[in-house]
Structures are given as structure tokens and as C-alpha cells.
């Protein structure tokens, strides 16, 4: 599926702390941006959002929490790039994945899917 996405001309980019970068690369994502502080996160995030060839942004949840609400609203108002947050705390990992990604599914499918 990753190769099909690349054919369409859109890339997958991950914004993560250095401790998570090796795992993201093992999963096959080549464009990994390692960030070290909050100011750097916002700068990188804004630059990637404006890129026309990025289709999906994977970002750790604790990194996106510091982003201003107007920047997040801008991302959510567009079709691309799709912003997917990666749970990175014990509390987040205990949540049911359906609850975590329900809004994302509703946004792109148009209705809620029950399995």
C-alpha cells in the first residue's frame, strides 16, 4: 500500500523525537524528521504542511499538543496532508484504537464504520 501511495506523488513524513525515529524507519517510512524541542516542532510542522507533495504526516501526540490551534485547524480544513497522531504515552496506549482514530475515519469516509 505504501508503494501505491508514492505513485500518486504524495509522500509520508514522520515528525518524531529521536528515540522513536529508528522504529519509524524500520516500518518503511523514509522521510523522518527528528525534533528536539518545541520551537523546532512548530517550524518543521509548518514547513511540511505547506509542502504540496506530502500526503500523510505522522506525528507523536505529545509533539502536536504544543501546536497552536489555528495551525491545527488549517491542517484539518485541507484534504492533504492527513495528520495522524501516534500515541506515545501509557495512557494513550491503553485506549481502544477505535476511539483514537474514529474522527479520522469519519473525516475521510464520511460516516462511522462499526466492526
**What CATH number does residue 12 fall under?**
3.40.50.10580
Per-residue model confidence (pLDDT) at position 29: 92
Distance CA 87, CA 50 (A): 24
Nearest Cα neighbor of 114 from 96, 88, 91 is: 96
The reply to whether the predicted model has a pTM over 0.75 is: no
Question: Is residue 105 in a domain?
Answer: no
Question: Is residue 45 in a domain?
Answer: yes
pLDDT above 60 for 76: yes
Question: Is residue 106 in a domain?
Answer: no
Rounded alpha-carbon distances, angstroms, from residue 97 to 1, 86, 103: 20, 11, 11
| Helices within the chain (DSSP H only) | 2-7, 21-26, 38-50, 61-64, 69-76, 90-94, 97-109
Distance CA 34, CA 19 (A): 9
Looking at residues 73-96, what average pLDDT do you find?
76
Number of domains the chain contains: 1
Question: Is residue 46 in a domain?
Answer: yes
Amino acid at each position: 500500500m505504501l508503494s501505491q501511495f508514492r505513485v500518486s506523488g504524495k509522500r509520508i513524513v514522520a515528525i518524531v523525537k529521536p528515540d522513536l525515529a529508528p522504529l519509524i524507519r524500520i516500518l518503511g517510512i523514509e522521510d523522518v524528521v527528528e525534533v528536539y524541542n518545541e520551537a523546532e516542532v512548530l517550524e518543521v510542522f509548518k514547513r511540511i504542511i505547506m509542502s504540496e507533495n506530502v500526503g500523510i504526516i505522522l506525528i507523536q501526540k505529545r509533539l502536536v499538543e504544543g501546536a497552536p490551534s489555528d495551525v491545527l485547524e488549517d491542517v484539518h480544513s485541507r484534504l492533504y496532508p492527513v495528520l495522524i497522531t501516534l500515541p506515545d504515552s501509557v495512557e494513550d496506549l491503553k485506549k481502544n484504537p477505535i476511539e483514537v482514530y474514529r474522527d479520522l475515519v469519519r473525516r475521510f469516509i464520511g460516516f462511522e464504520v462499526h466492526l
